[in-house]
Structure 1
Amino acid sequence: MFRYADPEACPACRAPIAAGTSRCDTCGIQLSGPVAVNLFRTLTHADGLVAELLRLSATSTLNRTAPQPALAGSMTGSTAGAVTGSMIGPMPSFPVPAHESRAGRRTPRLTAASGPKILLGLGALCLLVAAVVFLAVAWSALGVGGRTGVLVAATVAAGAAATFLARRDLRGGAEAFTTVALGLLTLDVLGAQSAGWLDAVSDAGFIVLLGTVVAATSMAAALGARRTPLAALWSAQAGAGIGALVAVIGVHIFVDGDAAFVIALLLTAACTWAAHRLALTVTTSILGVGTLCWWLVTLTRGLAAIDTSPSIGEVWGGPQTWLVLVSAGFAAGLALVRALPRGARVAGLAAGVALIVVLLTAPVIDESLTRVALVSAVVALGGAGAMLALGDLWRWIVAVPVAVAGLVQVVIAVLLGNVAGTALTSSPTWSGGIGVHLEANSLDWWEPPLLPLAVAVGLVAIGAGVSLLAPLVHAHFAPAHWIGAGGLVAVSTIALLPATYDVPAALTLASLLILTAVAGLVATSSRSEITVNTAAVVVTFASLSAIAVSLANDVLTAVATGLLTVAALGLTSRSGAARAMGEVGFAPLVAGFTWTLMHLAGIDVEWRAAPILVILGAWSMLAARPTREVPAVVTGLVATCASLAMIGQADDGSSVQSWLAIDLTVAGVLAAITALVNPSRRRFGWASLGLLTLAQWVRLQQVGVETVEAYTLPLALVLLTVGAVMMARGPVGSFRALGSGLVLALAPSLVIAMADPVSLRALALGLACALVVLVGALQRWSAPMLIGGAVGVALVLREVGHADVLPQWMVIGLIGIVLTALGVTWERSLARFKDATARLRRMR
């Protein structure tokens, strides 16, 4: 390679000089002194830059052709390695500009190799669909010889093309044509059956034959690919796995009975082991998933035979219990296979233990709630103790029983809590007087106190689960924290117990508000993070319970929401977690208080949503923080939906659209004002655009406009134009700039085209998808290729069922040929470029 800093050549005239010469004999230039030393350093640095350019060119055409930004800033003290053989040490390097550094770290929008893969995948799919549609249309017109010739010729041609491309190290083309060849091979076998050549074979036998042929051919192709530069052909390995699964299904149909499930499970497991021994990773993965599916089917078959009210004899003496035992033994047996990863062995043993526990506890599922609670408590506490005794990874073998038992305790707690909750909300909303009483329940006096007990046992199970998960996320598990949290939750549930007895609603509301105030004082005065968090939970729980109790009377609701609103507003003057808690709670509380006041004032429901939206918008503008904005958005949505629902009930929905457009307009204006007032919320302008557009759509629908493109294309064109401008101004990803516009332009039309595939809209959409994919390929933009390709694939698959209406297979096939040819050409060009780059690097 040519060197700028050549100690045996003059830097001015390139004439040969001897090492150490102080002057060139040809041009007379002085070669000593500080200026000469600086020149040699500069030329050495230039050699280093040339070597770096060659290295980058070998890996990416983008780095070779993209214009380099101007250097900015002064030289730093960082050093870059000097060229091997130079006479000076490392040189200082120029700093990389900030925008170039960010662009370098950003994920490429579309790599050079991904374009051919997308095109080849779409092309292969189009060719397969075209072949299926062609056969559906022309099969009856061809004789036996013509059918055989067409299928065999197409299969051989696809296989030959795959072999040709594999030997030339073109993976994308080889994978695509291998997929086409295997698909055509499947059609060959199906065609042979349709022609009556396999009438002697039963249906189950034909399925076995089909799977065996596909699996054997795919296996041969996968093993043969090892002698090519590709080394591995993923599509062939996938075909081998799928074919083997199809053959196993045929065996299952042939055998029939309960034994068929076990035989299918064992056959699939054996095929998985064989694929693993042959180092076929994709085949092993597919068959492994198939083994899991057959295991689940076998297990479901056994569990489904257990009666919903079983006894011990019915469970252990049932005719299909042996399927559950086989499933448990198969899963537990994985722990003995040392070739498996340790995690898989533990998971298998855990599944086996869980199934045995299910068989042991099944007889009590129809007993009383007390017995179920006791049995689940024993399982939960016993499993938690086993976790402490086992330690390490093997603690996971009892995780499932502990989790299920803890879930049972949680369900029991929910059932008992639901009784208390029903008492809180039993009275119709705003139907009683100020002295209304809560309705009594049918529980015995000693049953409600079981709620704290169930909560405590459930928390033990949850704590055991957290102790398992904490090491996985490198978190510290402190049992003392869980003890404090459990005690707090237990105390909170005790506060529900008075609601299960016949007491005035006002008295219950007063006690809950006092509990809220005390917990709020603790949250604002304590310095312990655990205490603050637990107190926040109590505040939330007590506040929600107080609001639920107050719904029995509108005056009580106004009092409760008003006091809680003032309390939340007071918390916003604090700092840290207290302020966040107040800001989160203020929006729903002030909305409920405002709604209740308007109800007491007799204001119609049509006018209630807009004032609430204005209040929430002003609250969010005062301090642009997520703790204010997110609750305000959610609360505004709920208030709007509630208002519209009540309007629909009042006038049969005749004016819902008008008020919906008004509410959307108000929300859009508020979002626009927020974007203008707060510089950090400029992107709210996009939300304003969306809300105002929705309001316009509602009005268009109300006046009778039915063409969907009239709604979507104008906004899509705006988004695409803005995205194109963003990409022209800076390094912005195509998904960020164009994704929303492309989805809005293509997806609605796709939904309609799927319902009416034989239409001008479907044809226009297909051509538009092809154009979008080609533009993305030419510009190397990932968003047009992926979004256009996804929509095109869905449309092509939908067209398969309408081959007898129009010859769509001609258009689909033509598009497939164009995409495939473009993909193969692209991939071949990349291969030639890599070869030329490698040759250039080897030159001296």
Structure 2
Amino acid sequence: MPANVTGTTLRSMTHIPPPAEELRLLDAELRQLDARRALLLARRAWLVAALRPAPAQPAPQAVPVPRAVPAPQAVPVRRPETTAPGVQNVLLLLGGILLTVAAVAFTVVSWGHLGIAGRALVLGAVTLAALGTPVLLLGRGLRSTAESVAGLGLALTVLDVYALHEVALTDTDGLGYAAIASAVLAVVWAAYGLAVGALHRPAGPRTGTTRAGERTDTTGAGEREATTGVRLPTLPLRLPLPTAVAAAQLPLLLWAAAADAGARTVTAALLVTAAFDALVALRIPVTSVRVVAAVGAYGLGGWGTFAAGWLSWTASGPSAAARAAALLLLAAAIALAAAWHAPKPNAATGLALAGGLITVAALGGVLRPSLPDEWTVPGHLACGMALLAAVRTRLPEPVRRGLAWASGSVQAVAVVWALPLVAIALLGPVGWAEKIWSGAPTSARDAVTTDLPWPADAATAPLVLALVAGVLVVAVRAAAWRPQALTCALTLAWATVLVLPAALELPYVAGLSAQGLTTVAALVCAARAARTQAPPLLLALLTSLGLAFLSLATEGATLTVLAALTVLFAAAAWRPGLGPIAAPASLAYTTALACAAGGSLGWLPQHTALLVLVVPVGAALLAARLNAASVAVPVEVTGAVAGLLAIALTVTDPPMLALVLALCGVIATGTAVREDRRSVGYAAAALFVSATWVRLAAWGIDSPEAYTLPVTVPALLLGVVRRRKDPQVSSWTAYGPGLSATLVPSLFAAWGDAHWSRPLLLGAAALLVTLVGARNRLQAPLVLGGTVLALDALHELAPYIVQVVDALPRWVPPALAGLLLLALGATYEQRIRDARRVREVLGRMD
């Protein structure tokens, strides 16, 4: 006997199960024996094939070569495509459906052919038979069949209720009757399921053995007696209880519809049904029942909560708001009670979050009709802040966490509501850039709403921002979140001060003073902060920008504010860690102050540019004294931007533009003296050349040599110096750019010049360059000078060549070309040697 059979027999001896359980165990053992028998038969077939003798072979003529004989393959066993229980379930399901359809057809179609007694007898007998048969089937261990017949019986009870209405209660209201019928059916089905479980109760512990020999729980779907405190009898039929819970969703809704109840009554019906579902889901330890109840609780509860919220939002008075709030509080109580008893922490946190938000909506909805519109958000915010009191209670940790998240969500929504005012206070002053010194506005609100409208009912936005900032400081105590909370609180406090003058419609000067003090306070916080300097410094910079734009309303305010900001950021730049932002900011405000001072003195923009050049000079001197590259580089970049601004201011005045370019070249040259800034020398050369060209253009000089020679001479000098330091440098690198800068533009000018002076001077210069290249064996001067000399000579001889060509017959040019080709062909080899020698000579040059 197999070992597993022996083990099961011994276990059976220790405890005698009921007949149905014993039958199930025997079926499992027989299935295992069948599988083992099939495996043994397959092995036997393979062994028979392996031991079968091979047929006799004739004697080979030569020595045979040994050859490996493949092992015989195992005989494949055909497996069934489905299991016996699967086939059984399909057949039972189809049978139940067909019987139900037949019962419906009989009730609807053939009902009228029977009398009252016959009808009652047929329906009663069939229904009782369908409901009683599962008890007998369970006694024989046919659980699946019992389930199918029970489903038919439940469907027949619905038909009984329908038939009763059609025969005896035709005058009753359909919806009202359906409400009562659904309640009765829910009770009857639940009682039926429990009664069958009580009748079919096993004698001992409800454990069994699976096909793999593992002991499993057969009590049905997850009993939780220790958690729920509810103990149900054995539930061999899984269909009646979930069906009863599904039917229990209808009575209150159908009753409300039958009574033509209003929206509040329907909402109450939804919420009460959801409360029932939540209770069932938490207290009944059957998985299928909990799933159906949970779906009903979430679905009907969400629908009812949305309806109650809509009633609260559209309430026209305190009385209507109070009634809607009562419905919302009922929904909140359901969510919080479910969170209290939820088995999983995440589910409890989510339910507590929902309950907290619904509570805030309920209490805020009561306050809304009694308060002005601008106090709606602060009222809801106060209710949300009150939820934090639950964090200090003895509620379960998931519930307290959910309420804290609900409070934080309400505060976040309140801050988002106030953000448009912060954006207006921060970006509105930019509009003064188009109306510089047009006059001081009457109030701070007028100062920030130059191009943007002020939102209605937003006067309490500063209060909202301040309250949330205070909550962050007081409530967040965890070490992991404390720095972030303080940073957010600082930002909200800054936003409060930013919008407060406009919200209170303070005078214009008071608004300027408030932003100035905010800038100072932010810089002080940045200076004292050891690690988190960036947020307060960024806030100080943003506030100073808004203050600078606000000051553009009047001349005096502009000069005073820009001067104060220059000094303030200059002082902050010497604090450790603030220099990379504060120093460039100080230089930027110095540049703006220079422009404002020029405008105040009545100077033209090109004259103001000379005053702006003070900033690049100061930036260059300051960067030379700074050791930290993190500060020196931003300072130099700011100075370069100020220099570009000075150049832009002089674009309309070429003489002044030339002067500014030359001064910028001087500043760049001074910077290039430093060892680590040698590359700035190229920018200095470009600035000097640009200044020269602008000056020549201002004088009306159109000769290209006047523009190219100031480039050629320094370039050649630099080439000579470089060749002396590094003799390996090619002449093309040292002298090519300088020579090309003058020879090429002059050649183009000479070809279009009708006079003889330019070609003569160009030819002489090209000849001199060619001779110098030949004398010093330099490739670049020789090639460039010779090429320009040849092209210049060709230009001079071109008129005579044209005259000769016109005088000759037309056949002469082709004939001369032919003779040239014959001559070249005759001396081809010699010409190749000559060309090679010329190439070698040029190759030996530098």
Settle same-fold status: TM greater than 0.5: no
Larger RCO (CA within 8 A; separation ≥ 6): 1
TM superposition score normalised by structure 2? 0.34
TM superposition score normalised by structure 1? 0.34
Which has more radius of gyration?
A: 2
